[in-house]
């Protein structure tokens, strides 16, 4: 159950490190880092972070803390150990009963919804060299719903917060939210998990860090003077949700890998990927007009491009890579000259003043909370609005209470959350 204690750097080595920064000692420091266990007090360094000063500072802190930092691990097959699925562990047994019996219908629905995405997630998990158990994590995170939104504004199958999503290469703004793209968000989530494993040195802590955030888990480990998962399970500093996250994940993974054993139908994991190609679109065009050129339905084109949250390609920022059916790219690009360009003036910015509430804005502008959430990904609408802050609101004709599919905000499915109790 334990990941192992972290070895300490000897005092002699510490004296040598303080005297010289020679190449040999630097290499020795990194070798010591490679031997670390599950605890850390160092901030996460992402692989795509190219800031030289941040990297050098991170490496300096790593040397200073020595045994408390684990290195990032490559994605080669075998680089990561498997994740233990301890069906006989008491907490895991508890959640097995919950998912298999007490919440049976919910579990069945989530597993059915996962069928569409599981082949893609498994393929990406294998490409990253990660243990296949991680392919079932999105069941716990979102119930396999690519449009799930939490009260804290985490969004998508992998429940990314906006800042974390951007730091892992996902575009999140008022026109595009790639947290809604199953493939792109899966890739970002797997890279994040690799970084978490590299930071904490074992899957028990890495998965806990995915739920709580790595900085929060770092603080708990330091405050509790702990280096192992077992040592923080009873910490008052960790939310109940985080304490339960690992055994819940183990339970739902055990069921999903062996559905017949628990009386569930076998998962249909046929790869349903359509053959597509990318067309670079530099300005804002209504998606319904693009669909007309391509000879496909508006809904089908949006299904290929779930990150387009306003029914229009972004009029600002870098060119957008629109996914279209294979062989249709040249037809689309040739037909763009006949489509009017969408201007970015289909919204207003409301400055929050005293007395303003989300409910009041919804009533005043005739919009929904979902529309406001889509246009304001960095605003937690479940909390009190900040005075002086700007809230982007879609323009809606006075006669329309709900925006149509071809004009403005893309309608979303009803929000669902994952099967982790208290998921936020």
Quick one: 102 and 242 in the same domain? yes
Residue 311: half-sphere exposure toward Cβ, Cα within 13 Å: 19
* Residue ranges in the chain whose pLDDT is less than 70: 1-78, 342-346, 397-424
DSSP-assigned states of every residue in 172-214 = BSSSBBGGG-HHHHHHHHHHHHHHHHHHHSSHHHHHHHHHH-H
Q: Do the domain assignments include residue 413? A: no
Domain co-membership, 141 together with 184: yes
Of the residues 216, 243, 262, which one is the last residue of a structural domain? 262
Residue of 270, 299, 254 lying closest to 120 (CA atoms) = 270
Torsional class of 307: left (φ above 0), alpha (ψ -120 to 50), beta (otherwise): alpha
47 and 95, same domain (yes or no):
no
CATH number of residue 154's parent domain = 1.10.530.10
Does some domain include residue 341?
no
Q: Do 48 and 197 belong together in one domain?
A: no
**Residue 83 maps to a domain:** no
Q: Which pLDDT score is estimated for 345?
A: 58
Residues 175 and 230 grouped into a single domain: yes
| The Cα angle at residue 237 between residues 234 and 239, in degrees rounded to 5 | 80
Separation between Cα atoms, residue 157 and residue 136, nearest integer Å:
11
Q: Is residue 308 part of a domain?
A: no
Asked if residue 116 and residue 204 are part of one domain, the reply reads: yes
Q: Are residues 64 and 99 in the same domain?
A: no
Indicate whether 144 belongs to any domain: yes
Q: Any idea what the Cα angle at residue 314 is, between residues 310 and 320, rounded to 5°?
A: 120
Residues 229 and 97 placed together within one structural domain of the fold: yes
Same domain? For 57 and 125 the reply is no
357 in a domain, yes or no? yes
Is 322 among the domain residues? no
Q: Both 243 and 373 in a single domain?
A: no
Residue 386: per-residue pLDDT:
84
CATH number of the domain bearing residue 353: 3.10.350.10
120 in any annotated domain: yes
The structural domain count of the chain equals 3
Residue 133, Cα to own-chain centre: how many angstroms? 17
Model pTM score: 0.73
The whole-angstrom separation of Cα 17 and Cα 31 is 13
Query: Of 206, 230, 262, which residue constitutes the final position of a domain?
Result: 262
Q: What is residue 381's predicted lDDT score, i.e. its pLDDT? A: 84
Q: Which two tokens stand for residue 264?
A: 């569930």
Cross-strand pairs, 320: 281
Q: Note the pLDDT of residue 418.
A: 62
Residue 17's closest CA among 62, 54, 70, 52? Answer: 62
Q: Are residues 57 and 134 in the same domain?
A: no
Which one of 262, 281, 307 terminates a domain?
Answer: 262
Q: Do 277 and 333 contact (CB within 8 A), yes or no?
A: no
Please state the separation of Cα 118 from the chain's center in Å: 16
Question: Measuring CA to CA, which residue among 167, 149, 243 is closest to residue 158?
Answer: 149
Residues 136, 30, single domain; the answer is no
Q: How many CA atoms lie within 13 A of 326 on its CB side?
A: 4
Contact criterion met (CB below 8 Å) for 307 and 181: yes
Identify whether the C-beta of residue 418 lies closer than 8 Å to the C-beta of residue 251: no
Domain span at 115: 90-262
- Structure-block tokens of residue 408: 């403005």
Q: Smallest Cα–Cα separation from 408: which of 397, 398, 399?
A: 397
């Amino acid at each position: 159950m334990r990941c192992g204690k972290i070895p300490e750097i000897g005092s002699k080595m510490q004296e040598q490190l303080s005297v010289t920064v020679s190449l040999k000692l630097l290499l020795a420091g990194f070798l010591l880092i490679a031997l670390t266990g599950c605890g850390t007090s160092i901030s996460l360094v992402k692989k795509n972070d190219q800031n030289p000063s941040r990297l050098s500072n991170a490496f300096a802190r790593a040397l200073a803390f020595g045994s408390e930092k684990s290195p990032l691990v490559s994605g080669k097959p075998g680089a990561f150990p498997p994740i233990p699925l301890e069906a006989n562990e008491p907490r895991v047994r508890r959640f097995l009963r919950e998912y298999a019996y007490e919440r049976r219908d919910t579990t069945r629905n989530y597993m059915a919804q996962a069928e569409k995405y599981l082949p893609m997630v498994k393929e990406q998990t294998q490409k990253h060299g990660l243990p296949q158990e991680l392919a079932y994590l999105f069941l716990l995170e979102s119930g396999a719903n690519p449009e799930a939104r939490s009260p804290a504004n985490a969004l998508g199958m992998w429940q990314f917060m906006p800042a974390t999503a951007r730091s892992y290469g996902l575009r999140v703004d008022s026109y595009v939210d790639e947290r809604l793209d199953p493939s792109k968000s899966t890739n970002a989530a797997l890279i994040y998990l690799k970084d978490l494993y590299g930071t904490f040195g074992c899957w028990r802590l890495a998965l806990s860090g995915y739920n709580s955030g790595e900085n929060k888990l770092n603080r708990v480990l330091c405050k509790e003077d702990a280096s192992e998962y077992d040592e923080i399970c009873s910490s008052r500093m960790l939310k109940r949700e985080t304490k339960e996250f690992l055994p819940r994940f183990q339970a739902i993974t055990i069921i999903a890998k062996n559905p017949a054993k628990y009386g569930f139908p076998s998962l249909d994991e046929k790869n349903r990927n359509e053959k597509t190609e990318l067309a670079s679109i530099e300005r804002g065009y209504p998606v319904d007009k693009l669909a007309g050129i391509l000879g496909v339905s508006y809904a089908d084109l949006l299904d290929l491009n779930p990150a387009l949250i306003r029914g229009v390609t972004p009029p600002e920022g870098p060119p957008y890579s629109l996914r279209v059916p294979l062989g249709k790219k040249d037809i689309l690009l040739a037909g763009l000259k006949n489509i009017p360009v969408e201007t970015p003036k289909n919204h207003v910015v409301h400055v929050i003043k005293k007395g303003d509430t989300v409910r009041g804005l919804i009533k005043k502008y005739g919009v929904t909370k979902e529309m406001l959430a889509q246009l304001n990904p960095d605003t937690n609408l479940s909390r009190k609005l900040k005075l002086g802050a700007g809230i982007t609101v879609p323009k809606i004709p006075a006669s329309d209470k709900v925006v149509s599919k071809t004009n403005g905000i893309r309608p979303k499915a009803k929000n669902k959350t994952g099967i982790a109790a208290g998921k936020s």
